[in-house]
Amino acid sequence: MTVIAPAGFEAAGVAAGIKRSGALDLAVVVNRGPSQQAAVVFTSNRAQANPILWSKEVAKDGVVSAIVLNSGGANCFTGPEGFQVTHRTAEAAAAALGVAAGDVLVCSTGLIGEQLDGEVLEEGVLSAVNRLGADAAAGEDAARAIMTTDTKPKTVVVDGGAAGARWRIGGMAKGAGMLAPGLATMLVVLTTDAALEASVLDRALRQATRVSFDRLDSDGCMSTNDQVTLLASGASGVVADEAEFTAALSAACLDLAAQLQADAEGASHDITIEVLGAVTEDDAVEVGRSVARNNLFKAAIFGNDPNWGRVLAAIGTTAAPFDPYLVDVSMNGVRVCHAGRPDRPRDEVDLAPRATHVRIELHAGEASATILTNDLTHDYVHENSAYAS
């Protein structure tokens, strides 16, 4: 039931006519309250789409009544006219819902540099508002409406609290390419019926995204439109414990991040890079990311080649403190490198399964981190060479 699983939310997804295919391309998620508290994190890319510029202002007071999301066009680098389209979209939703335009977030995803038709978006918003519902079909349509190159919708539901004081988190995400920190080329909407203030939501969301979406690094490319939104209705009447809520939210984000990884464009391997024995967590992240962004390593995995030398070459480019001649590397449970020297034979490593686990032990400290990535395939190159055609 995705974003409408928690009490207090309605959603809809419609075919507004943005996509030439006639597929669903516009979603609306509404928080019916009694509270409209929210937190949002945005791409760290300095090149930001018009919806990001609008939504950053909306999010400042921590109050959000609704969010409109469209696929089929990023509305990025489209000048003042593009910003007016975003403004018009928010105004249309506000008028239809009886809320303030300054409490309506807007998200867009698709091709950069193409103008969106404001009239089409406005009519799509009105159509979506007329179809708002809190049933499974409404949530499914909303999740499908935000897809671009995704092959399937990504949704999650996590329950929390104790007997008699339960609360729930729901969520939907889109993303299949440009998956790299600065979040990813993702749009994510998370909802909860827990009664929490915006400041608590903000702390929880930043912690959850730090260990999930910010560690998904499929192709090293950062989007202009990334936005992860958390809306709280308070409809359960339960004030969730902050630590418990943060853990549940992190679990939801990790689930969605894994779904994004599994649907990455053209990928044939989902690679989990686990770094152990770093001096600090940041060092572990830097080491893991150096491997995730190494095209030689990623191409080797595509070819089912356990080329551990490419792992060592990649991590040697980092500033993290460790001795490369003490490092161990394992692939799918086989330690192929021990103390910077060959260990088990390469042919003992089975890289045929899609799930690939690389374990790097630095022997420099106690910190660890995990990075998610994919291999580099012919299909990835073909899909991205033909994206705008």
Question: Which residues have a catalytic role annotated?
Answer: 185
The answer to whether 327 and 337 have CB atoms below 8 angstroms apart is: yes
For residues 193 and 171, what is the distance between their CA atoms, to the nearest angstrom?
Answer: 12
> What is the signed CA dihedral for 86, 87, 91, 94, rounded to 10 degrees?
70
| Four-residue CA torsion sign, 140, 146, 149, 150 | negative
Element (H, E) at 365: none
The three state secondary structure string of 94-148 is: HHHHCCCHHHEEEEEECCCCCCCCHHHHHHHHHHHHHCCECCHHHHHHHHHHCCC
Which whole-number Å values give the CA distances from 221 to 136, 177, 178, 183, 385, in the listed order?
Answer: 34, 8, 5, 10, 15
Q: Which residues of 322-337 are buried (b: 16+ CB within 10 A; e: fewer)?
A: beeeebbbbbbebbbb
Which whole-number Å values give the CA distances from 379 to 133, 229, 269, 387, in the listed order?
Answer: 38, 31, 12, 12
The answer to whether 107 and 59 have CB atoms below 8 angstroms apart is: no
Structure tokens at 304: 């089912």
The answer to whether 219 and 180 have CB atoms below 8 angstroms apart is: yes
- Number of C-beta neighbours around residue 140 at 10 A: 19
